[in-house]
Amino acid sequence: MKQYRKKILIILGVLSFLVVVSGAYPLYRYLTHDRYKVWSIEVEPAAYEFLADRQGLVISWKETKNSNRKRDKNEPVEYSSTIHGKRYLSTDSKRLIHRYDDNSFDVKKLSWGEYWKIQVYDTSQDDLPRKEYDLLKAVADYDASYFPVSIVYTHFFTYKDQEYRTVVLQKTGGDDRKEVLFNMATGKLEDIPKEAGEALENRNVDIFRQSTSLKEYYSEVLRNISSSIRLPQSVIEQSSDWRLREEYPAAYDLMTKKKGELYFLTNDTDVKLLSDIYSLLIPKDRNLFDNLTVYGEVTKDGKDHVVHSYEEFINVLKPKEELLNVS
């Protein structure tokens, strides 16, 4: 009888153990991942290189230890949510239990594990020092009756030498929305200055790749996301004789082997900066302005022009302010 009872206890113990184990993983998933309706990975530079007198910056990104996804944390990742200016470059990461259209989101009543962080890197220093800001706290400090909307277009904006990323807020319990500015130098939210009007992207870095015959050189359209460049595989295959490979081999390797992204470090439409960088993305025995056709959409008289030098190029180009309206 005692042996029988002992067997029963063992069986019950094993069953209890299996129940606990089988329930532990779903609970773990719920607490660490599945409970979040909106989430994004957190990244950091795996490697980076400046080029063209610090006018450009190539970064290969990797996930941080805080990311949820099960992958080799040293594996390069494509990251397209960077917002940057001349000095500051920012990324963000979030875990939110509210969907983007859930107006019950209240920054005063956050759930356990919920966050939205913005990481800011200072590109004026060689080691890219990083500061991390709590966006939800910044919203609460600005006006706790609002919450940040997670799925909206976010872009760069500069005003009076300050560099910002836009943030859209919505009234908790309502539908009213407003756009504000996240100051990348202070981590604070600010109203858009009345004299600035709308917080529109006030630079055009696509002139060469969209509005000149240089676009015909590349076998595929260069991927441009948030004013940066990522090379498609077919373009990588035609890049072996590029000036970039000869003058900046480390940056070249990042772009061709490590999913590196090239960022134009400028706050405005800096044509000289763009020409210096695009001169690296062509064969080393070629001049960027050799028989370059400039399309009418960006010229003063609306006609196509063939130019042979930088001076001829800027002579036919529209004023900087008018280039902002070119799509």
Q: What tens digit of pLDDT does each residue of 63-89 get?
A: 998 765 656 667 899 998 999 999 999
What is the structure's pLDDT at 75? 87
Mark the ranges of the chain whose per-residue pLDDT is less than 70.
Answer: 1-33, 67-73, 224-226, 327
What is the structure's pLDDT at 29? 42
Look up residue 109 and give its two tokens. 């009543």
What is the structure's pLDDT at 2? 57
Cα–Cα dist 82/60, whole Å: 12
Cα–Cα dist 83/90, whole Å: 5
What is the structure's pLDDT at 5? 65
**300, 302, 325: which is closest to 315 by C-alpha?**
300
Cα–Cα dist 183/264, whole Å: 19
Start-to-end CA span in the chain (Å):
86
- Pairing mode of beta strands 177-183, 162-171: antiparallel
Domain ranges of the chain: 1-34, 81-196
In sequence order, what E strands does the chain have?
38-39, 43-51, 56-63, 83-84, 88-96, 115-122, 130-134, 146-148, 156-159, 162-171, 177-183, 189-190, 223-224, 228-230, 261-264, 292-294, 305-307
φ, ψ of residue 73 to 5 degrees: the values are: -65, -15
Residue 303 DSSP code: S
For the whole model, what pTM was predicted?
A: 0.87
Residue 144 DSSP code: T
- 222 and 209 in contact (C-beta within 8 Å)? yes
**290, 285, 281: which is closest to 239 by C-alpha?**
281
